[in-house]
Chain A
């Protein structure tokens, strides 16, 4: 059009039409300005203030600021980012919810436990094994040997017994191995990059598991004749050899190549390997006294020297992890080290600086009081933990389903599908920057299947506007003022009363987990909804 003009964002010119917003202009340049309260059809609501940009030395919300000729905008600068991050952090200081459940956050391998338990409760066995394998290497082994820090933090434990999380992992894998074709986690297309891992103990195997799934071609070498390292020393009653063998076989099915009887410093050298592979990862386990010197690697004491943040040794292309670098006492932690090393190597292979995986962002609700716990317990199985009989090999299916139904689902229904969580993750927001008294947890379970959690409402106003635009008979309104502001239907009625016409639309556009459909309703509603319960993407921090 003739009256179009250009403005500049971060020094880049962009052609715009009069009447357009700065946000729209930025999107043309593929600049991802975060927005929470912006929905095209509602027009700018200007409540969240996370879309700030800098104009003439002042911060202005980009969604509501119209372009003018000659405008100069700053968007991706540290100052602007800090303001956006602060807005997010302020929202979280008044946010009642956990994106990820406490157990999930406590699992060093970040297994989405409540998701696994929901699948089990609903007897979705395939989904259950997929969830477990997604996060855990050697899941059958962990299901027996893990010291289960997750259970220590399980909220159900504040009521009666924690959920039997580790047992459920065992149950899921045992089930799976009874099937003719065991579940195989998908591999990404081959990258053509070759990695060699020296040491087939827990750290090495874990690293191999993640790297292979990324499409790299992985070779694992060990001086022993079998994979497993220290796991081979565990007694049969704790870890039957058959289980370990099955798990290793699964790794082989993933395409991992095993070479046995190969000893570093004797048959191969790091330098030599570095010439033949794109990356070398040393996971040889705890070094015997004086053993280190033979490896031909820089040492720190009797351990291999590696940067804790990148797992890199001073040698180019050579990484090290696990007990060879720092003794690991717990199996799951040793595997988590393998996962971290895999991420470092993976990034390195992709041409990026090596870095451990980011911790997935999670809002934190903190301690909950007995009254609130009751609200959580409401919709779960009321009994204590279900143990399998003494002679039995493990839980039966019905037992597992009951045990799983004891889970309180401490995670957020929207996790993985929540705009707030997404930007908190991207902006590295610190959910507990502002310590403050928390509002009580409140959950309105509406008869029609909507769940409203006022504590997760960021008062963006989208639902209020949508009900107004749809001329809802009752509608929703902002009630009160200032810090006491809230969303409600008029005359003290619960929200569903105000959502006769646009319930689905409001749920869809609510940027957080404040307005969601309960699972059953969700199954009926098509499209987007399903992910909010199955939300795998909550595992966004993983290499997967």
Chain B
């Protein structure tokens, strides 16, 4: 079939002809053709300044680009940490078998299915996760695969396309009651989008006056879909794990439907409820999904948390700018610009009408919660910028004085930067570099052009904090980035977001578009100093005695193309410049010579999300939280072998034990908590006996882990530590850019030895070599990826050497390494033939009424037989 080259031309027309347009062009081609046809690439070279060598280099670097067409359907299998420990390999094997994808290939012969491993789908609490087409499926198992695929095909046939929830940001004036539906990626993966629509329809059908509202992540990703109901009476109640079928009953339960028939029906459900109290799960009524803040599990999950980066979580519609404004949004930025914002009242249940702010989500929000001060046309109270004279709740007069003094830009910058410095804020992207210091270096550069970049590459498998923050609080991150831009003197900001996070990309783009529409981005930040669009309800108050400054800022989104190493700042810059994401030697640091050789500030999403709060509440308030050297809070993605996974924000210095046992509820019943993996591929495993280690930058480093981005994967006695080390090495090996010797070859050689260990073929000298090489790879690699790649090995060697020893002797104590275990059927077998029927590789001959026997040579250790055997007759040794 000839290639339609107009697509290539259109891509060029859209993305431009300069060399840096390369990645966006390839992304368009990939999206439109499904792969990168050579003719199209040649065409691009002809019509742009892009060289063939650049195209070849870049196209082969990033995971998202394919040189071959995919099958009709793409099945993405997560290979992230949480999924790995939950048995993703078996799911992948099973999928391959079921879809008849030959070994070494990624597409079946008929061209129907392509299987694509993904580093992490960012919905780790649902591990193992598979994404087929647009739908994300959680808690998959090998034996469920045929069913999954059947359902998928059935859904295709009935063409029940999932409706978008992305244009649902409107308000219904005068509505007092709201149903909040969490619509983060995790929640959507569990069907919250369908629930959302079902609730709307039910409300509509019942004629109930209630706003069904989209909110961001509610943190309790393990209980999604999650909704919260606030009635006009201000009563808050919430539900977890509902499905769309429950929508009608829920609406009836809480809201007075019009008309007698409905009334009657409502009574009837009540009756039903009480009757069904002890019914099995499937038949449970909505009441059974209800939780309250008094629920000990909910308490435990929330009590220790402090929400700063995730302030007002589960409350805000991610894309409702007015709502953000009503919750102190952009107040900090306004102040940095020497002005104040007047927000228009937020429609919705007004807090002062509530008996008490009873939402459990609000429980531990710190800071001057806007909800209490929110009034119609209220003039926002502003505390003075620390660094000026005095702190605390400033009076209006005081404020304007301070404001006035900030009008010279140098002073403004200095005030912002010194606030950040005093707050003790350190980068949340991994290394914990003091943010104020970094800002100051950029600010001090004398170049005219400077850039600020928000690092949303989050490639750490098993971490999804940044995804959640971007999805739930896009305006907050934008505000943080804008403040940073003002502080360092940058006029252009870029959000670098990995393409595996489509929802985050979409929401940040939409948020930027809204701000642009309002005239709050571009020419003049917040429209200060520029004419206001008259249709908008808010205006910018000019404090007495000074002209507010106008500050131009242009924001854009750059989608990553799939390469973990692009989270490293020099690689990230290379990638924005249209090159292969290969890191460069630092110094020079990006703060001195970054994007296009200009001073560039790069901060992590979470770092930036903390900034507005700090400026609103003062450095001291932030510094009061946390430990001596690690201030404030840290958001963690809690996943793995744990009861309550999700997103949590805790003060620095909270111990691992508090996180795992109290917040997370500990390991599953009958299992023993063994270790936590913190910091992903750059981090390490902290054993349970060191669970009292506080999580802060220094303490974690001391025990051989690192804070990293905040992935926290809990491991139990079914997790093999050698396998974990091998898993991470496999990951870094796969993600190494290949530039420098130590990382390209060194990690491979380490992996070779770990492979031998996991298959019982390693010798003691090889184990010693592993340790020696680990140290050398760490010392000799060029960038952070290679330098930290040995950490998982070194930390498991440090704490779990006995497991390495066991593997030398050919044993896997956790029974995870498949070549070291064997499946047998014992005398309890009744000959029911179930295992034989289910074995996907026919390793068990059917012998009715007689004890079954497993053919070890055929057995692939898929575990199916053990799971299906009703008599527990299948043993794993």
Taking Cβ atoms with an 8 Å cutoff, the residues of A that contact B are 44, 46-50, 52, 58-61, 64-66, 82-83, 86-87, 90-91, 93-94, 433-434, 436-437, 458-459, 461, 464, 467-468, 472-485, 488-491, 498
Contacts and interface: CB of A to CB of B under 8 A. Distances in A.
B741 A87 contact: yes
B407 interface: no
Given A47-B741, A478-B738, A488-B56, 18 more contacts: A44-B585, A46-B782, A60-B585, A66-B587, A86-B780, A436-B748, A459-B738, A461-B739, A477-B52, A481-B737, A482-B735, A482-B737, A483-B745, A483-B748, A489-B53, A489-B56, A491-B42, A491-B56
A65 B586 CA distance: 8
B132 interface: no
A375 B745 CA distance: 26
A64 B740 CA distance: 13
Given A481-B60, A481-B736, A485-B744, A49 B782 contact: yes
Contacts of B733: 482-483
A477 B56 contact: yes
Nearest to A64: B585
Given A481-B738, A491-B42, A434 B749 contact: yes
B13 interface: no
A482 B736 contact: yes
Most buried by A among B745, B748, B749: B745
Contact of A459 (B744, B746, B781): B744
Contacts of A48: 740-741
B129 to A, nearest CB: 24
A482 B42 contact: no
Contacts of B582: 478
B580 A478 contact: yes
Interface in B40-69: 41-42, 51-57, 60-61
Contacts of A458: 741
B41 A93 contact: no
Interface of B: 38, 41-42, 51-57, 60-61, 563, 580, 582, 584-585, 587, 733-742, 744-746, 748-749, 752, 769, 773, 776, 779-782
Contacts of B587: 66
Contacts of B38: 491
Given A59-B780, A491-B42, A498 B53 contact: yes
A52 B740 CA distance: 12
A83 B779 contact: yes
A47 B781 CA distance: 9
A93 B746 CA distance: 9
27 contacts: A46-B585, A48-B740, A49-B742, A49-B781, A49-B782, A59-B779, A64-B585, A83-B780, A86-B746, A86-B773, A86-B776, A90-B746, A433-B769, A436-B748, A436-B752, A458-B741, A474-B53, A478-B57, A478-B582, A478-B738, A479-B56, A480-B60, A481-B737, A481-B738, A482-B748, A489-B56, A490-B52
Given A48-B740, A490-B52, A477 B57 contact: yes
A326 to B, nearest CB: 31
A482 B779 CA distance: 18
Contacts of A59: 779-780
Given A59-B779, A491-B41, A87 B742 contact: yes
Contacts of A52: 780
Contacts of A491: 38, 41-42, 52, 56
B780 A479 contact: no
A480 B53 contact: no
Given A49-B780, A481-B61, A481-B563, A90 B745 contact: yes
Contacts of A477: 52-54, 56-57, 60
A49 B781 CA distance: 8
Contacts of A490: 52-53, 55-56
A33 B41 CA distance: 42
Nearest to A478: B57
A61 B585 contact: yes
Contacts of A65: 585
Contacts of B740: 46-49
Given A86-B776, A94-B745, A485-B738, A479 B41 contact: no
Contacts of A461: 739
B504 to A, nearest CB: 24
Q: Which 5 A-B pairs have the closest CB atoms?
A: A485-B738, A490-B56, A475-B53, A490-B52, A477-B57
Contact of B51 (A82, A87, A475): A475
A483 B789 CA distance: 14
Contacts of B769: 433-434
A20 to B, nearest CB: 14
A434 B770 CA distance: 10
Nearest to B63: A481
A59 B41 CA distance: 41
A475 B745 CA distance: 26
Contacts of A473: 52
Contacts of A49: 740-742, 780-782
A485 B53 CA distance: 14
A477 B580 CA distance: 10
A2 B523 CA distance: 46
A52 to B, nearest CB: 6
B581 to A, nearest CB: 9
A481 B41 CA distance: 20
Nearest to A484: B738
Contacts of B736: 481-483
Nearest to A88: B741
B26 to A, nearest CB: 14
Contacts of B56: 477, 479, 488-491
A194 B361 CA distance: 96
Contacts of A47: 739-741
